[in-house]
Structure 1
Amino acid sequence: MVSLGLCGAALAAALASVAAPAQADVPAEEAQGRGPGWHLKDTGTDVRFRGLAAVSRKTAWVAGSKGTVLRTADGGRSWRNVSPPGAGELEFRDIEAFGARRAVVLAIGEGEASRVFRTEDGGATWTESFRNADPKAFYDCITFFDSRNGLAMSDPIDGKYRILSTGDGGKSWKVLPTDGMPVAQTGEAGFAASGQCLVSSGARDVWLATGGGATGRVLHSADRGLTWTAAESTIPAGDSARGVFGLAFRDRNHGIAVGGDYRKDQPSPRAAAVTADGGRSWRQSTTPPPAYRSGVAWLPHTKSAALAVGPTGTDVTLDGGRSWRTVDTGSYDTVDCARDGGCWASGEKGRVASLG
């Protein structure tokens, strides 16, 4: 763990020291000797991958449009199309993996378009374990506390967010009661932009990111989704295109929120915030990313280094999210890091990259 921590810290410092202007990512075959940065992988497709699960430096899963799921076990040199049969009309936006063989993927959309599939054989076969029957529900994100216990969230129904729960690794799901859920703001919803609008840390803590309402909020539950409290972030909302898009917690206290306005012609002056009390209060980053960011991830085994990604670039922080520096100008929607230090990013036009 000490070795991994030192490697993560060294990589973060190397990224932060990249001379301006920031350089766009490069193909893996051209990356040798180029120093730290994103190394693009050839996925052989042009779909948009907003769902990403980093298992290790070698193994990762991505999920995206046209019902597409890909998996690599050799660091991205080759990709296997393991998409669920007949899912071509679905939009996959989140995926959680528990190794090279087990994964759970979420499709978003109104009514029956929201579904959950699971595989135990590396994607050779899939089982549909949930299909939404409520026309008012729209599921956005999914998260797991461990290999058995997890949650999925839907935009508000009758004024409250709806939470699904599983205790058997995604084989079955049940709707949790909403008695402990705060009332949603008018127009408030989650953003299915990066698979990070619902995230967990530890055995029981989970956070939900919102936008579209009067304020961008972060909801927190310490009992696996039974009761929730809401706190205002410093990321502006007040419009259906603005708010908190992604969250990352390195433990039950320390978290980062990113977001902004996803429209290309609109500024995002306060695109990041931090918390040190589990989301009860949030502080604006003193030097936030310069534009909208949809995904964020802590570098493993470090206490203060993290990455944020969006359509206009990647930023790194070395002080726990208080200040950020742009280190790459490539377009990505989401980012995820594995315990062995392997970090991956994915986005539009089939773009997937690993951090070298």
Structure 2
Amino acid sequence: MSSWRFMQTIPSSLIGIDVVNRDVVWASGGFDGPGELGSPGLVVRTLDRGGSWENVTPPDAGRLTFRDVYAFDRDQVLALASGVLQGSRIYRTVNGGQDWKLVFENWEADAFYNGIAFFDAVNGIAMSDPVQGTFRILITDDGGWTWKVAPTKGMPDALPDEFGRATGTCLVTKGPHDAWFGTGSKDANGRVFHTGDRGRTWSVADTPIPGDPEFGIASLAFWDTRHGLALGGGDPSSNKPSVAARTTNGGRTWKRVRSLAGFRINMAVDPSRRDTAVAVGMSGSDITANGGRSWRWFDQNDLRGVSCTEDACWAVGKDLKAAELLR
């Protein structure tokens, strides 16, 4: 039976997380939402399986929220920060956060970056809300040292009021060429965009996940380039359960599967166990062992981000929480 092994971290709310291995975990957070306005951005890491955590936040981060973190190893990391008033930035370190370089800064009024992901050690992608009617994509081919805006010619038009959810896992990659991102809009079901050429061209598919002006699709996770899950819908104020949908053809079509026990904001597949995935949210965690066809609630703690490798799954959340999944 699965359960979380909790430990205390640095005081802040955490949502971004990337597991390197069982001992090395990077996480990020801080929030600029109502009730937490002005709480500082944060980047932390552990090198001893959660026994201790280092605060390695870039010194000039101000009130930015670090919404996503991508770790190449214990020392080389990219951190994506976005703030309502401060724009979006990407920082890179090669020495475990002792020094950071600002490798991208955005001040376009409509751009707001939601996630960052990599196909391999050099080729990566980042996704923003729409700018002038199309979703904005950044591409790097040098490990994140430089970024350029991808042409919009290969991107389908966005719907009115359509945007991405800034959870980190609203954008995911699998294999050397494929990436997906999920969206939400006021008057339509959530949609999933897919590229098979590292972001040069995109297709889009409707899903059965209810559209919502505030949430929509929150998280995507794939076992391989054909089999994956989308998570979204629900309502955190009433703990209305989130909805899951499954694809078996790389995101061309989606079929609704079983709803979860409550509102969930993030999800990760367990690569060590076929068809297994973990979802976390404000009112608890759920796990599936059959590709989302059924979910089992197993914890009630407030967790906001989750990441898995072959040898470990970790989650982070509000009120000092970090936890390793015992499986």
User: Which structure carries more strand by proportion?
Assistant: 2
Which residue in 2 is equivalent to 1:137?
Answer: 111
Q: Is the 8 A contact 1:236 1:242 kept in 2?
A: no
Residue 195 in structure 1 maps to residue 171 in structure 2:
no
SS of the residue 2:152 aligns to:
coil
- In 1, the alpha carbon distance for the partners of 2:26 and 2:239 equals 32
Q: Is the 8 A contact 1:111 1:134 kept in 2?
A: no
Q: Is the 8 A contact 1:241 1:262 kept in 2?
A: no
Task: Give, as a single letter, the amino acid of the residue that structure 2 aligns with 1:76.
Answer: G
- In 2, the alpha carbon distance for the partners of 1:70 and 1:254 equals 32
Structure 1 residue 266 displacement after superposition: 6.0
Which residue in 2 is equivalent to 1:174?
Answer: 148
Q: Deviations over 1:34-72 (max 9, x none)?
A: xxx111111131x11111011111110011111211100
Residue 62 in structure 1 maps to residue 27 in structure 2:
yes
Task: Give, as a single letter, the amino acid of the residue that structure 2 aligns with 1:201.
Answer: K
Which residue in 1 is equivalent to 2:17?
Answer: 52
More divergent stretch after superposition (105-114 vs 82-91): 105-114
Structure 1 residue 243 displacement after superposition: 1.1
The sequence identity of aligned pairs, in percent, is 44
- In 2, the alpha carbon distance for the partners of 1:299 and 1:173 equals 30
Which residue in 2 is equivalent to 1:223?
Answer: 197
- In 2, the alpha carbon distance for the partners of 1:133 and 1:116 equals 12
Residue 283 in structure 1 maps to residue 249 in structure 2:
no
- In 2, the alpha carbon distance for the partners of 1:43 and 1:110 equals 26
SS of the residue 1:267 aligns to:
coil
Which residue in 1 is equivalent to 2:295?
Answer: 324
SS of the residue 1:105 aligns to:
strand
Task: Give, as a single letter, the amino acid of the residue that structure 1 aligns with 2:17.
Answer: L
SS of the residue 2:216 aligns to:
strand
Alignment of 1:86-165 (within 5 A): 86-110=60-84, 112-165=86-139
TM-score w.r.t. length of structure 1: 0.86
Alignment of 1:218-257 (within 5 A): 218-237=192-211, 239-257=212-230
Structure 1 residue 175 displacement after superposition: 0.1
Task: Give, as a single letter, the amino acid of the residue that structure 2 aligns with 1:220.
Answer: H
Q: Is the 8 A contact 1:50 1:64 kept in 2?
A: yes
Structure 1 residue 241 displacement after superposition: 2.0
- In 2, the alpha carbon distance for the partners of 1:109 and 1:80 equals 23
Residue 302 in structure 1 maps to residue 273 in structure 2:
yes
Give 1 or 2 for the bigger CA radius of gyration. 1
- In 2, the alpha carbon distance for the partners of 1:311 and 1:176 equals 35
- In 2, the alpha carbon distance for the partners of 1:43 and 1:135 equals 34
Task: Give, as a single letter, the amino acid of the residue that structure 1 aligns with 2:321.
Answer: R
TM-score w.r.t. length of structure 2: 0.93
Which residue in 2 is equivalent to 1:337?
Answer: 308
- In 2, the alpha carbon distance for the partners of 1:101 and 1:290 equals 37
Q: Deviations over 1:119-166 (max 9, x none)?
A: 000111100000003122111111111111111111011110000001
Inter-CA distance 77–117: structure 2 relative to 1 (3 Å threshold): same
Q: 1:311 aligns with which of 282, 300, 312?
A: 282
Q: Greater relative contact order: 1 or 2 (C-alpha under 8 angstroms, separation 6 or more)?
A: 1
For structure 2, the residue ranges without an aligned partner over 5 or more in a row are 31-39
Q: Deviations over 1:263-312 (max 9, x none)?
A: 312623x5111111001111111x32022211111112222111111111
